[in-house]
Amino acid sequence: MSTLPQVLALLPRTDGAALAWFFVAWVGYAQFARRRVELQPSVLATTHRIRRRWMLQTTKREVRVIDGVVVQNLSARASSPRPGS
């Protein structure tokens, strides 16, 4: 574990300051994003909530064939290359 301080000692002061600024900004943005989601849900959070409801409903239904087909189509579309790529 002593190699990290040795590596940091090799960096110029400006690079060390830039690295420290990067981590401070990273942590700051993570805090901002957590608070922002509480005030206004993101598209990802809304989609997650809808998918979770759908998955819970699939456990209560008798026939799950259609759900399987939908999931298969979604996963096949996500992994297939786009035309013209």
Q: Between vectors from CA 57 to CA 66 and to CA 73, what angle results, nearest 5°?
A: 30
Rounded to an integer, the average pLDDT of 16-42 is 90
Rounded Cα–Cα distance for residues 20 and 41 (Å): 30
What pTM value is reported for the model?
A: 0.44
Residue 46: pLDDT over 70: yes
Rounded Cα–Cα distance for residues 27 and 33 (Å): 10
Residue 79, class by beta-carbon neighbours within 10 Å (0-12 exposed, 13-18 middle, 19+ buried)? exposed
Q: Which of 81 and 51 is assigned the larger pLDDT?
A: 51
Residue 80: pLDDT over 60: no
Residue 78 binned pLDDT confidence (cut-offs 50, 70, 90): low
